[in-house]
Amino acid sequence: MSPASGERPAPLLPDVDDPVAGPFWAAAREGRIAVQRCLTCGLLRYPPLVGCPDCLGRTFEWQDLRPTGTVWSFAVYHRALHAAFTGQAPYTVAVVELDDGPRITARMVPGQRQVAVGDRVRATFEPVTAEVTLIRWQSL
């Protein structure tokens, strides 16, 4: 169902109270990137999961990673993927391989030059509400 004329759709926001992903969002709120590290095999993983996809271990700890990486892939959206993004196109979503290993997908900071695979980027942290801060990638 579409919103009434003139109304902006509600934003799509993560569930910061999710027992698995909540610590990731808490770290973002503090301006950090934190991912799970399996205590059995040491795999750094994103997105957060209940168990390790490599060894099936179920124990992990949260580890802070450097907020820098390299663009692994990207897409430019010329049409809104969801009604919540209406009026924001075009926007770029990049998959970034962090310097510490895992890949994280997030939007690029708007208004920069066009991104390319291999570009160096740094995470920025965009507060959206008092509870939700989103990661954005900024070209270096």
Look at residue 86 and tell me if it is in a domain.
yes
Look at residue 8 and tell me if it is in a domain.
no
CATH code, 106: 2.40.50.840
Look at residue 15 and tell me if it is in a domain.
no
Domain range for 76 is: 22-139
C-alpha–C-alpha distance, residues 122 and 3, integer Å: 35
Look at residue 4 and tell me if it is in a domain.
no
Q: What is the pLDDT of residue 11?
A: 78
Q: Which two tokens stand for residue 91?
A: 């926007």
Q: What is the pLDDT of residue 107?
A: 96
Q: What is the pLDDT of residue 10?
A: 76
Domain count for the chain: 1
Please list, residue by residue across 10-48, b when 16 or more beta carbons sit within 10 angstroms of its beta carbon and e when fewer do.
eeeebebeeeebebbbebbbeebbbbbbbeeeebebbeb
Look at residue 84 and tell me if it is in a domain.
yes
C-alpha–C-alpha distance, residues 74 and 137, integer Å: 11
Nearest CA to 116 among 81, 56, 88, 75? 75
pLDDT tens, residue order, the chain (140 aa): 445 555 677 778 999 999 999 999 999 999 999 999 999 999 999 999 999 999 999 999 999 999 999 999 999 999 988 888 888 899 999 999 999 999 999 999 988 889 999 999 999 999 999 999 999 999 99
Q: What is the pLDDT of residue 1?
A: 44
Look at residue 41 and tell me if it is in a domain.
yes
The 3-state DSSP class for residue 85 equals helix
pTM of the predicted model as reported, rounded to 2 decimal places: 0.89
Look at residue 92 and tell me if it is in a domain.
yes
Q: What is the pLDDT of residue 81?
A: 83
C-alpha–C-alpha distance, residues 121 and 138, integer Å: 5
Q: Which two tokens stand for residue 120?
A: 């160096």
Look at residue 87 and tell me if it is in a domain.
yes
Q: Which two tokens stand for residue 133?
A: 């801060």
